[in-house]
């Protein structure tokens, strides 16, 4: 079979865009070439290995270009590019998780109306082919949960702190230097990047779309030495975990928050910028996907995989979303947390269903107890602003 020739118009020449160019240079496929890259500042990229422009029209008006690859940082600008490409009938590969998390439903509809594909495996978990697997292999009702480490930078920081005793800010600056972190690293450490990925994953795992602001999201930015000591004393590690979990047949709970992970869990040993996703289902119990979740080359290779999929006109079918029997998002879910607080006001911020353990001293106070997810969501903004730390603390 003759393979389709792809001529790419690339938007963005940052870490992932450069990673993609390098991967393509080394693989040198005879049916894929980048015609031009559109960047904000052409002076900055004078040495780029492909022709560059700062005008989107140079790409959209080039009749040779039959695939847009969008790898820019700005979610609003990314949406404009992706929407325009689909309306012009040009398939798109995108890596912009924030843009997808907010606009995915519109873009699914636009794909249907235009008959044009949008692929974005690179948007979630770097080199791990999670979306296409959830879409194709897990195309049934057996899935119970999809949980894991979805952000490489925060995991890198946690690894350096727990394994090497490194200081938080030093670990963060190394993650930035190595090109794992977002240009605004609070997206990584405060859980937003994991949240966007979880929203995308949940569409393909369970056929359910939940707007990002409806999901409880708490990061590792407020973690202190006391929290690390607590985890060590309990022989656990703190990991930032995105979790989509079915409760019974027809309800689905979603969270992004630190978790105290015990040694027997697969993700306990996921270190550095690696991501790890545990897929739990009926009859097969658990499966584990593991790989590099950040960085120019791993993510560039995932973009290449989406590009290659375009050579045979692959597109997501959203079979679960369209199945008519999807679970309903619920926040009525009780689970155990560790809550470290400073003031009495913060102590009474949360109403627990049940308190298992509490500790108070002049400098360190905590509660371990069961709480309803809706209670955390109700207080989410206040918790994120306060000097507190919240982590899920599962029994095993
Ligand atoms: N900043 C992201 C991370 C990049 O650290 O995982 C990959 O999405």
pLDDT in tens, 233-289: 999 999 999 999 999 879 999 999 999 999 999 999 999 999 999 999 999 899 999
Residues 101-147 pLDDT 10s: 999 999 999 999 999 999 999 999 999 999 999 999 998 879 999 99
Of all atoms in ligand 1, which is nearest to the CA of residue 155? 5
> In the predicted model, what is the mean pLDDT of residues 170-190?
95
Of all atoms in ligand 1, which is nearest to the CA of residue 153? 5
Pocket perturbation via mutation, ligand 1, pick of 181, 200, 276 by most ligand atoms within 8 A of CB: 181
**Distance from residue 379's CA to the centre of ligand 1 (Å):** 27
> In the predicted model, what is the mean pLDDT of residues 195-214?
98
Mean pLDDT of the residues in the chain: 96
Active site residues: 197
Q: Which of 39, 15, 278 is nearest to 126 (CA)?
A: 15
Of all atoms in ligand 1, which is nearest to the CA of residue 181? 1
Residue nearest atom 7 of ligand 1, based on CA coordinates: 294
- Answer yes or no: pTM beyond 0.95: yes
Residues 29-71 pLDDT 10s: 999 999 999 999 999 998 899 999 999 999 999 999 999 999 9
307: left (phi over 0), alpha (psi -120 to 50) or beta: alpha
Residue nearest atom 8 of ligand 1, based on CA coordinates: 294
| Domains of the chain and CATH, by start | 6-120 (3.40.50.720), 132-292+326-392 (3.30.360.10)
Residues 313-365 pLDDT 10s: 999 999 999 998 899 999 999 999 999 999 999 999 999 999 999 999 999 99
Q: Which residues does a 6 A CB cutoff place in the pocket of ligand 1?
A: 126, 151-153, 180-182, 188, 193, 293-294
- The yes-or-no verdict on residue 173 having pLDDT over 70 is yes
Q: Which of 390, 393, 396 is nearest to 257 (CA)?
A: 390
Pocket perturbation via mutation, ligand 1, pick of 182, 194, 197, 270 by most ligand atoms within 8 A of CB: 182
**Distance from residue 67's CA to the centre of ligand 1 (Å):** 24
How high is the pLDDT of residue 1?
A: 63
- The yes-or-no verdict on residue 2 having pLDDT over 90 is no
Whether the CB-CB separation of 175 and 185 falls below 8 Å is answered with yes
Using CA atoms in the order 180, 186, 188, 193, what is the torsion angle rounded to 10 degrees?
-120
CA atoms within 13 A on the CB side of 333: 22
**Distance from residue 328's CA to the centre of ligand 1 (Å):** 29
Q: Which of 272, 293, 258 is nearest to 163 (CA)?
A: 272
**Distance from residue 150's CA to the centre of ligand 1 (Å):** 8
> In the predicted model, what is the mean pLDDT of residues 5-31?
96
Of all atoms in ligand 1, which is nearest to the CA of residue 294? 7
**Distance from residue 312's CA to the centre of ligand 1 (Å):** 28
Pocket perturbation via mutation, ligand 1, pick of 120, 180, 198, 291 by most ligand atoms within 8 A of CB: 180
How high is the pLDDT of residue 373?
A: 98
Pairwise CA distance, residues 232 & 315, whole Å: 45
- The yes-or-no verdict on residue 169 having pLDDT over 70 is yes
Pairwise CA distance, residues 36 & 260, whole Å: 46
Total Cβ atoms within 10 A of residue 210: 17
Pairwise CA distance, residues 126 & 107, whole Å: 21
> In the predicted model, what is the mean pLDDT of residues 220-239?
97
Of all atoms in ligand 1, which is nearest to the CA of residue 182? 1
Whether the CB-CB separation of 124 and 96 falls below 8 Å is answered with no
Query: What 3 state SS string does 331-390 have?
Result: CCCEEEEEEEECCHHHHCCCCCCEEEEEEECCCCEEEEEEEEHHHHHHCHHHHHHCCCEE
């Amino acid at each position: 079979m003759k393979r389709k020739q792809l001529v790419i118009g690339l938007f963005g020449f940052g870490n992932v865009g450069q990673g993609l160019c390098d991967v393509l240079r080394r693989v040198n496929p005879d049916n894929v070439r980048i015609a031009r890259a559109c960047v904000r500042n052409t002076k900055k990229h004078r040495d780029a290995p492909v022709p560059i422009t700062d005008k989107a029209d140079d790409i959209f008006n080039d009749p040779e270009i039959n695939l847009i690859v969008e790898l820019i940082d700005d979610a609003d600008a990314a949406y404009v590019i992706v929407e325009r490409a689909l309306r012009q009938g040009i398939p798109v590969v995108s890596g912009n998780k924030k843009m997808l998390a907010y606009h995915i439903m519109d873009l699914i509809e636009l794909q249907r109306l235009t008959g044009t594909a949008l692929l974005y495996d690179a948007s979630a978990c770097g080199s791990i082919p999670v979306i296409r697997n959830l879409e194709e292999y897990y195309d049934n009702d057996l899935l119970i949960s999809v949980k894991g480490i979805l952000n490489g930078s925060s995991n890198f920081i946690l690894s350096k702190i727990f394994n090497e005793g490194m200081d938080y800010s030093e670990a963060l600056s190394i993650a930035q230097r190595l090109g794992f972190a977002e240009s605004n690293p609070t997206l990584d450490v405060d859980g937003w990047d994991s949240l966007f990925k979880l929203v995308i994953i949940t569409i393909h795992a369970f056929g359910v779309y939940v707007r990002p602001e409806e999901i409880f999201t708490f990061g590792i930015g407020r973690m202190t030495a006391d929290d690390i000591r607590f985890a060590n004393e309990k022989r656990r590690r703190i990991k930032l975990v995105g979790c989509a979990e079915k409760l019974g047949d027809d309800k689905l709970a979603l969270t992004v928050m630190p978790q105290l992970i015990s040694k027997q869990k697969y993700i306990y040993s996921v270190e550095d910028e690696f991501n790890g996703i545990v897929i739990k289902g009926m009859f097969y119990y658990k499966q584990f996907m593991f790989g590099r979740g950040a960085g120019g080359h791993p993510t560039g290779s995932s973009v290449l995989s989406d590009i290659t999929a375009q050579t045979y006109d692959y597109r997501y079918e959203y079979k679960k979303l369209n199945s008519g029997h999807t679970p309903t998002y619920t926040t009525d879910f009780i689970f155990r947390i560790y809550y470290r607080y400073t003031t009495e006001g913060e102590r009474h911020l949360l109403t627990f269903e049940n308190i298992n353990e509490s500790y108070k001293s002049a400098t360190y106070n905590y509660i371990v107890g069961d709480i309803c997810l809706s209670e955390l969501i109700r207080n989410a903004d206040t918790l994120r602003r306060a000097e507190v730390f919240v982590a899920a603390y599962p029994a095993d």
